[in-house]
A = this chain, B = another copy of it.
Amino acid sequence: MQTLGLALMGTGRMAHVYGPKIGAHPGLRLEVIYNPRITSAARVADQYGGRAMDDLDAVLADPAVDAVVIATPTDTHVDYIEAAARAGKPIYCEKPLDQSLDRVDRALATLDSHPVPFMLGFNRRFDPDNSALRMAVQNRGIGRLNMLMSWSREPSPPPIEYIRASGGYFVDATIHDIDLLCWIAGERPVEVMAAGSCMFDPRIGIEGDFDMTMTTLKMASGVLVHINNSRSCAYGFDQRLEAFGDEGMVQTLNQRDDNLVRWDKTRTAAREPLKHFFLERYEQSFYNALDEFHAAVTGERAPSATAQDGRAALAIALACAQSAKSGQAVALEFK
Interface residues of A (CB under 8 A from B): 128-129, 132-133, 136, 141-144, 146-147, 149, 153, 191, 193, 195-200, 212-214, 216, 218, 222-226, 228, 230, 232-236, 238, 244-256, 258-274, 327-329, 331
Known: A195-B216, A252-B261, A262-B267. 6 other contacts (CB 8 A): A129-B260, A153-B244, A191-B327, A253-B260, A267-B270, A327-B331
Q: Is the interface of A mostly helix, strand, loop or mixed?
A: strand
The count of identical subunits is 4
With both beta carbons as reference points, the residue of chain B lying nearest to A132 in the complex is identified as B258
> Which residues of B sit under 8 angstroms from A247, Cβ to Cβ?
234, 264-265
B259 & A252 in contact (Cβ 8 Å cutoff): yes
Please name 10 pairs of A and B residues whose Cβ atoms are closer than 8 Å in the assembled complex, sorted by A. Answer: A129-B260, A133-B260, A234-B265, A236-B268, A248-B263, A249-B262, A249-B264, A251-B263, A252-B259, A253-B261
Q: Are B218 and A195 in contact (CB under 8 A)?
A: yes
By the criterion CB–CB under 8 Å, are A271 and B268 in contact? yes
- Would B248 and A222 count as touching, CB distance under 8 A? no
A7 to B141, CA, bound (A): 48
Q: Which residues of B contact A143 (CB under 8 A)?
A: 234
CB-contact partner of A250 in B142, B254, B260, under 8 A: B260
A270 and B271 contacting across the interface, CB-CB below 8 Å = yes
Other-chain contact of A132, B200, B218, B260 (Cβ < 8 Å): B260
Of all A-B residue pairs in the complex, the 10 with the closest CB atoms, nearest first, are A270-B270, A248-B264, A197-B222, A267-B270, A249-B263, A235-B263, A253-B259, A327-B329, A132-B258, A193-B193
- A186 to chain B: closest CB distance in Å? 15
Give the distance in Å from the alpha carbon of A262 to the alpha carbon of B260 in the complex.
Answer: 16
